Structure 1
Amino acid sequence: MSASLRITEIFYSLQGESRSIGLPTVFVRLTGCPLRCVYCDTEYAFHGGERQSIDEIVAKVESYAPRYVCVTGGEPLAQPDCLPLLTALCDAGYEVSLETSGAMPVDAVDPRVSRVVDLKTPASGEQHRNLMDNLPHLGANDQIKFVICDRGDYDWARFQLDQYQLNEKVGEVLFSPSFEQLPARQLADWIVEDNLPVRFQLQLHKLLWQDAAGH
């Protein structure tokens, strides 16, 4: 039987976050996630979806004639056939990123993929799921993201940044305020005050379209 995955949606939009923010991108949202972060904006992707073969997924992506493809979820790596899908998209010539919770191993991901790995903060409710063994496998093509809910999260993230020298390991370290939990200006002020080597980011899709989903 050929590889297949359960897909919640495939759509074309602007990348709302990460290093490629603002670039027209096809999103392939896989179904299912073992985490339950308090700020999750894609709970509709926990269940359901439609099973599609890798060939069907690649054909749908191709119909948009994109340059960039983002495989997201849910937690895409919870489906083992995510790995051959990522390779197939790279082979098709796209610049591919993977948005992952950081709770699943990333070492087997095609090295051409930019892995955007969350480190879950204490206020997320899922800090204990962080797989710190992922860090040695990350490099200049990868990104680490912190969603900051409060000052405690910020201080925790700042400690991780220093302890693991994250800005030297990966291409981008991203600090993002949790939507409607932490004022964006507050996080920006903290970053500037502490002169952190990180990129502040807002979720562009929520500013443009008041879009609840994490595009």
Structure 2
Amino acid sequence: MSEKQLRLTEIFYSLQGETRTAGLPTVFIRLTGCPLRCGYCDTAYAFSGGQLWSFETIMAEVQQYHPHYVTVTGGEPLAQPNCLPLLKLLADAGYEVSLETSGAMPIEHVDSRIVVVMDLKTPSSGELQRNSYSNIKYLKPQDQVKFVIGSQEDYQWAVFKLDEYNLADRVSDVLFSPVHHQLEPRQLAEWILADRLPVRMQLQLHKYLWNDEPGH
């Protein structure tokens, strides 16, 4: 692969469905490929296929929407080494850029201007062993950590990690998200309130608006 190319599944303009910028218009750059196979994955269509895009073409596509926010996602975007220079290029262009990563790939070389949204895999994902906890020391104050929770076991595990790594003081937001159609959102809300957790509960806005359709 050329040093100036990446394999992409799609670029699209939509509302951010999660994280601190939920509801804000955002350009999404979805990279193809992922070394993980989480049981609740909602983007399996990005595991393979895709097309090669030059950096120049990617930047031109993003620019046409005149966005403030750009999210680089996947798949697992950091599985492609050229993701790192693309992130820098986007930040250089003045966009507010976030990176959605599984936490299984090293983040230490991600440009310091990027907001890293790192997903620590819970037991029900089936990929618990892929968590690279050495990444935690590279998290910045503006970064976010996400736990996708499908059961009470997941919740209790996430609470333990929240405390073990003092995540609420380390990053701007710790996100607890129920697995869609698996854990009732109200149940997760009641657990969070009962334990007085310093976390942000989130529902995936895009699922309610577009039901996981590609391009949204």
Pairs within 5 Å for 1:54-203: 54-203=55-204
Percentage of identical aligned residues: 64
2:3 and 2:189 mapped to 1: Cα distance?
47
Other-structure match for 2:23: 22
Aligned-CA RMSD value: 1.1
> Deviations along 1:112-153, whole A, 9 cap, x unmatched?
000000000011000000000000110211000000010000
Give the superposition deviation at 1:213. Answer: 5.3
> Deviations along 1:27-51, whole A, 9 cap, x unmatched?
0000000000000000000001010
The alpha-carbon distance between structure 1 residues 3 and 63, as it changes in their structure 2 partners (threshold 3 A), is: same
Question: Does structure 2 conserve the Cα–Cα contact (< 8 Å) formed by 1:31 and 1:47?
Answer: yes
State the AA in 1 paired with 2:88: T
What is the SS of the residue equivalent to 2:157? Answer: helix
2:129 and 2:215 mapped to 1: Cα distance?
22
What is the SS of the residue equivalent to 2:190? Answer: helix
2:133 and 2:148 mapped to 1: Cα distance?
17
2:192 and 2:180 mapped to 1: Cα distance?
17
List structure 1 segments (4+ residues) > 2 angstroms apart after TM superposition. Answer: 209-215
What is the SS of the residue equivalent to 2:6? Answer: strand
Question: Does structure 1 conserve the Cα–Cα contact (< 8 Å) formed by 2:102 and 2:118?
Answer: yes
Give the superposition deviation at 1:15. Answer: 0.1
What is the SS of the residue equivalent to 1:28? Answer: strand
Larger CA deviation: 51-60 vs 37-46? 51-60
TM-score normalized by the length of structure 1: 0.98
The alpha-carbon distance between structure 1 residues 171 and 22, as it changes in their structure 2 partners (threshold 3 A), is: same
What is the SS of the residue equivalent to 1:176? Answer: strand
Other-structure match for 2:48: 47
The alpha-carbon distance between structure 1 residues 28 and 142, as it changes in their structure 2 partners (threshold 3 A), is: same
The alpha-carbon distance between structure 1 residues 41 and 98, as it changes in their structure 2 partners (threshold 3 A), is: same
State the AA in 1 paired with 2:70: V
Give the superposition deviation at 1:200. Answer: 0.3
TM-score normalized by the length of structure 2: 0.97
Number of matched pairs: 215
What is the SS of the residue equivalent to 1:84? Answer: helix
> Deviations along 1:144-200, whole A, 9 cap, x unmatched?
000001000000000000111000110100000001110000000000010000000
